Chains A and B, each alone.
Chain A
């Protein structure tokens, strides 16, 4: 007879010394666990509730400007810094960690309309309504020096005066050219006091400009004649143009998919386009209730942040329709510029009330050093919440956001109006010959035409 009985010796299964960790044994057999799905569901529900408890996205406001903030720029080499320019010509460099002004760059006589930093982080270019473009030296060494003296002011490296007021400026990602937008699009070199090249297509002012991160010679602009134009510097003539029904306030290229860009439009939507195929938008992002003023992509390319005239900041997914998150405060007035920080953790918004506000990109994220066990737990809770977020109870909690009353009412009104339009369209369709009325998808509807 051969017999063996389970016998566990205590030393194998318990720790040797009190300074050792407790031993943990795993057996993943599903028969040891009952009702796994129900347990996961309860965990998803609790995770959703905890998320809401820990959702405190607002970190702080940076106070100092004396007029509304119109533009911001990030320094790609220095994570903590952000430049902001306001309507009274004041440019400041902020340290986001301490939320203080490091350095001021006085000089502009009118509003500062655009700010940009060169890719190597050495030159800050600013342009304004006083028809000047100023170049400032902001390399690390300089900043370190100025750190010692508080509220230091710097002298511009160069001042170029030109014919018309400027509305926007952007620097090439890989090179030393920068472009300004105003009555026409001008291409400048750092050392030349006159534009190297000028593009002009159409008779209206260009209000925003952006260089493509992947292809250094391509840039996109938007103008007051409701168009988005793509230029290629090598061709010295504009490449393509798409005219929409309403004006585009700002454009941002997706840093991970450089052929796609998203345009923040005056009709409260953001339209994502593939630059090679401008006849139809890839995706329409609808959630704002007033004109979208600025847009910036996260360095991951998966999300973008928008700031709108309706006093809210929203974060959207790059391929989704509705916003994942909305940030608002009673004190924050019209948001004119937003930036996503270079480590994809923070969002900075500059608004009409002269403050820059720093928010977390993920509202319930734990900042600081996260222990590996904590991180694993967060990842698990995130995964289990995503698995059950379609069930009604979990969905209700995950989706719930408090909206300020004007935004809520405006959203309801918009919804009613759009529903009414849609119903009328359906009835017209139903009572006319089949095929005579063709509904265009929203992605196409807002585009009037594409011009070569």
Chain B
């Protein structure tokens, strides 16, 4: 039975909600009919509909509860138990209210693309889409051709309003995407490899030939970050105000852009790489290396958190799903692998070549290679990606970077002849939160937001693989034996403190430099002594162990034949 999607959405919300799965508008009619038959058979009785809406509300409530309720059985303290029970009740109520708000009070609805008859969504061209949508949206579909200034990369601000485009031959441009107005363009006369916006549209960083530079909205150069060296990729961690960069020598650097402090400087040891992405969920930086490994880093440790072998050849690109659990990697062997980051296992392997990958806010995956872009979507929310849309550009265009625009159904493509923008219905989050990112921000709101986000700036120690662990009880780990490196580090630390101790300045001829030097040497020896003793003890015990071992191995009757080693 034909049940037109548009009608379903504009009908009384309850009916629509019972037929559609929440938050996932069905893209193809095929899927919709399957959904109909499994959930509600028309004509639908009120009771069945109510059940479906209850199920749906339950799922929404579960999302807002952010995890399971606490288990209060084990709590023996009655007062504490009572207090916790009241709290849990309150959480349940607030989750229910949030679910109701999501159902009834959100102003916008998501986009969708639904193919009719025998047509498939991946054959639908951008021109046919442009004919069907309103004029304002069709304005967002364009190709900007700038052939002389090299392949372009793009970056959007977090509210999707402004875009910074950088051409390799030194062209930097800032565009206001709402009015499609060019705010500023400058020519830096140097290779520009990457561009990244900082916390708002006023500042952006460009990775130029020798060092990265930070520019103003007016195009004024504000800072030259000499310490970073020749940077290949830049990424900005929003919550922490950290600018992460990977340079030609494979060195990863984190710099705090509020005070200019260099937080971390690590040698990855895995060579030159230009595949770098930030996981927006937990703030870890992932690098893809030419050996096929993906390493994940945090600013407070010089060894990577995770090192996983993803592809037999070099990793060509990397992308993170906004929920933080999915990662897409692509290698030279024409495969895209979708990883579950909780178990570090491959969920799906897709036979698709991708030089660049990007996830949208709604979980659509864009893969670009050559002059061809493929959009993959998981229709039922089951993380089973299949082809949704495709787009081929003119033959000479080599896609350099694909980037979804936040809060819009638009995909920005940076290619060798400039940049383009195409419409991908259903990719953006339709309802924004003004306190998180506001596409209609005024300058006053922007200033206030800057101050508030600076007050809420997270220290770099909060970056961890599981960000929900903050505030939880740390399980006491079994004390492991300190490794050799640890012991050496401790010894060095002790020596440093010994070196740094200040001596009382003696008078009356007792302050000879030779005496001071001997005293200093004594202090350092005293600091070293416990470690050296420990080492000798360990050596003795290991020697003793070696001695006794062969004896105990032989049976008693043969022990007299054991060769006694000359001591």
Contacts and interface: CB of A to CB of B under 8 A. Distances in A.
Interface of A: 1-10, 12-14, 22-43, 46, 319, 387-388, 391
Contacts of A30: 63-64, 66
Given A22-B445, A37-B470, A5 B456 contact: no
A373 to B, nearest CB: 13
Top 8 A-B residue pairs of the complex, sorted by shortest distance between their CB atoms: A38-B462, A2-B114, A37-B470, A27-B433, A27-B431, A5-B137, A24-B434, A5-B409
A16 B61 CA distance: 35
Contact of A35 (B134, B283, B436): B283
B439 A7 contact: no
B282 A6 contact: no
Interface stretch (B46-54, B105-113, B241-249, B392-400): B105-113
Contacts of B92: none
Given A1-B116, A2-B5, A38 B467 contact: yes
B63 A6 contact: no
B175 interface: no
Contacts, number: 148
Given A5-B423, A12-B107, A34-B283, A46 B455 contact: yes
Interface in B433-482: 433-440, 442, 445, 455-459, 462, 467-468, 470-471
Contacts of A35: 239, 281-283, 458, 462, 467, 470
A374 B445 CA distance: 18
Nearest to B442: A22
Given A1-B113, A1-B115, A6-B430, A41 B128 contact: no
A157 to B, nearest CB: 49
Contact of A10 (B63, B132, B324, B440): B440
A417 to B, nearest CB: 29
Contacts of B112: 2-4
A5 B133 contact: yes
Contacts of B114: 1-3
A42 B281 contact: no
Nearest to A25: B434
Contact of B64 (A3, A28, A46): A28
B323 A2 contact: no
B84 interface: no
Contacts of B79: 319
Contact of B425 (A3, A9, A22): A3
Contact of B434 (A4, A26, A46, A391): A26
Interface in B457-510: 457-459, 462, 467-468, 470-471
Given A3-B113, A43-B456, 17 more contacts: A1-B116, A3-B111, A4-B111, A5-B423, A6-B409, A24-B435, A27-B433, A28-B433, A29-B431, A31-B323, A34-B281, A34-B283, A34-B324, A35-B283, A38-B458, A42-B456, A42-B459
22 contacts: A1-B114, A1-B124, A2-B6, A2-B116, A3-B112, A3-B129, A5-B134, A6-B108, A6-B430, A12-B107, A13-B440, A14-B440, A25-B107, A25-B431, A27-B436, A29-B63, A29-B429, A34-B282, A35-B470, A37-B468, A42-B457, A43-B456
Contacts of A1: 113-116, 119, 124, 128, 132
Contacts of A38: 239, 458, 462, 467, 470
Nearest to A43: B456
Given A1-B115, A2-B4, A25-B107, A34 B434 contact: no
A41 B470 contact: yes
**Most chain B CB neighbours (cut-off 10 Å) among A13, A26, A38, A43:** A38
Nearest to A394: B471
Contacts of A26: 101, 433-435
Contacts of B137: 5-7
A438 to B, nearest CB: 22
B431 A388 contact: no
Interface in B1-19: 4-6
Nearest to A28: B98
Contacts of A46: 455
Contact of B408 (A3, A6, A28, A40): A6
A319 to B, nearest CB: 8
B340 interface: no
A98 B482 CA distance: 67
B136 interface: yes
A69 to B, nearest CB: 38
Contact of B439 (A8, A33, A39): A8
B102 A29 contact: yes
B370 interface: no
Contacts of A37: 467-468, 470-471
B11 to A, nearest CB: 15
Contacts of B471: 37, 40-41, 387-388, 391
B280 A34 contact: yes
B134 A7 contact: yes
A394 to B, nearest CB: 10
Contacts of A388: 471
A443 to B, nearest CB: 15
A39 B452 CA distance: 11
Contact of B101 (A10, A28, A32): A28
Given A1-B119, A35-B282, A41-B470, A27 B133 contact: no
B133 A4 contact: yes
Contacts of A22: 442, 445
A382 to B, nearest CB: 15
Contacts of B6: 2, 4
B362 to A, nearest CB: 10
B471 to A, nearest CB: 5
B150 interface: no
B432 interface: yes
B13 to A, nearest CB: 16
B108 A8 contact: yes
A33 B342 CA distance: 19
Contacts of B440: 10, 13-14, 23
Contacts of B63: 29-30
B428 interface: yes
B322 interface: yes
A397 to B, nearest CB: 15
Interface string B394-436: 0000000000000111000000000000010100111111111
B432 A27 contact: yes
Interface string B64-95: 10100000000000010000000000000000
A34 B436 CA distance: 10
Q: Which of B79, B110, B239 has the most CB of A within 10 A?
A: B239
A5 B467 contact: no
A27 B132 contact: no
Given A3-B113, A4-B112, A43-B456, A34 B239 contact: yes
B467 A34 contact: yes
A261 B331 CA distance: 75
B272 to A, nearest CB: 30
Nearest to A14: B440
B354 to A, nearest CB: 24
A34 B102 CA distance: 19
Nearest to A10: B440
A86 B445 CA distance: 58
A411 to B, nearest CB: 26
